[in-house]
Amino acid sequence: MRISSRRLLAAVAISTVVATVGTACSSDSGSTDAKGAGSGTYTIWDPYPQFAKGSAWTTLLDKCGTAAGVKIKRTGFDTSDLANKTLLAAQQGNSPDVLIVDNPVVSTLAEAGVLTTTDDNKLDTSKVDPNLLAAGQSGGKTYGTPIGANTLALYYNKKVLKEAGVDVASVKDWKSLSAALGKVKKAGKKGITFSAIGTEEGSFQFLPWFWGSGAKLTELDSAQGVSALSLWSGWLKKGYAPNSVINNTQTTSWQEFASGDYAFAENGTWQLANADKAGFDYGVLPVPGADGGNASAPTGGEFVTVPVQDDTGRYATSQKLVSCLTSTENLYNTDTTLSYVAPTSEVQDKQVTANPKLKPWVDAVKAAKGRTSDDLGTKYPKISEQMWKAVQTALSGAKSPKDALSAAQSAAK
């Protein structure tokens, strides 16, 4: 299965646009030495360089290798480097046997001809929640299986809400959320903080509100999309959200919430450990839809994939390795280590039993949606870039939400 150089070059350009917005990794990259074909050594590349040899993660890799009868050579890369390293390796005919990659990049690698399908490699994905599996689907084919998912929800400060006379149970839709923010401001506290920075993080954080309005990414300037951006810009005008959101990353937004002055913060599963250290009682609720219910938030997290090999006989063992890593037995410990919600209902139930605080996150993940879902694939990065530009333009007051999204839709086409 020969890979077109032109498709690879195009994929490199796209992969530099899609950045990870979930957990942060260190910048160590490791070796890219070629594997010895037929030597009984199988290579695994992952975006978890923070886990050194002897950690629970690398111990699991070795355990799965032993079960498959092979040795594992593992390299952990920084997430932002991994896609380009993978494309270069494919061009050189030196792809890893198993690749764990950020889910929005799957469609880019698939379109470039780098990944095998589950029909090719015989992976069983029948237990995976369909909304999570969709992030790794393109053109009616599935490329790999999710190892876990994270997403966005609203953290809230119980003390701030109590002092403002807000019952969090009353927050069911945009109207009731805005009313709660008005009470909080009147009580002399701060309302809500989030990240609207001009990067993929900004799009990632805007998507729950965009999708929660009923809007579609193929029509950025729909009336529903305009209503979502109007909600955000209205919050800034009323002082319910700080102007700092325009430059906030998800990390700096969290730091604002951790000060204890804010009622709400939109952030991710990966902040749970920090929330426990914040020094105040907090709760979590899914982002509400415009008219109620849980909005679809974007899924973060990685897919375990099997790259194309000249020696197709290697796929059988690669399939064993992936099946081991994503088995019901191993997913619970792995996703606890990675602060992920599991991709199957069976393991999600086990997580909630062990830690009831995960219940709202499981609910949020069940309503979540892949950024490249709806068969957007490699169209997503261009759409996302125009989306975050529109958000920046509207929140800065340079254009109305309607005009900002109209310009974004024209540019996205």
pLDDT digits (tens, 9 = 90+) for 48-60: 998 999 999 999 9
Compare 163 and 357 and report the one with higher pLDDT.
163
List beta partners, residue 99: 45, 305
Judged against a pLDDT cut of 70, whether residue 35 lies above it is answered with: no
Share of the chain above pLDDT 90, in %: 82
pLDDT at 18: 52
pLDDT, residue 336, reads: 85
Indicate the pLDDT class of residue 296, thresholds 50, 70 and 90: very high
Instruction: Map residue 82 onto helix, strand or coil.
Output: helix
Spacing of C-alpha 146 from chain mean position: 11
pTM over 0.95: no
Domain range summary for the chain, segments of one domain joined by +: 5-149+300-366, 152-297+376-412
Q: What is the DSSP string of 169-233?
A: GG--SHHHHHHHHHHHHHTT-EEEE----SSHHHHHHHHHHHHHTT--TT-TTSHHHHHHHHHHH
Of 241, 369, 252, 246, residue with least CA distance to 299? 369
Q: Would you state the structure tokens that stand for residue 391, as one six-digit string? A: 């958000």
CATH number for the region 5-149+300-366 comes to 3.40.190.10
- Contact yes or no for 192/266 (Cβ under 8 A): yes
Residue 374: pLDDT over 90: no
> Is the per-residue pLDDT at 399 higher than 90?
yes
pLDDT tens, residue by residue, 336-369: 888 899 999 999 999 999 999 899 999 999 999 9
Q: What is the CATH code of the structural domain delimited by 152-297+376-412?
A: 3.40.190.10
CA atoms within 13 A on the CB side of 235: 29
Residue (of 96, 37, 126) closest to 323 by Cα position: 126
**Mean pLDDT for the stretch of residues 133-159:** 95
For residue 22, pLDDT over 80 is answered with no
Is there a contact between 79 and 301 (Cβ–Cβ < 8 Å)? no
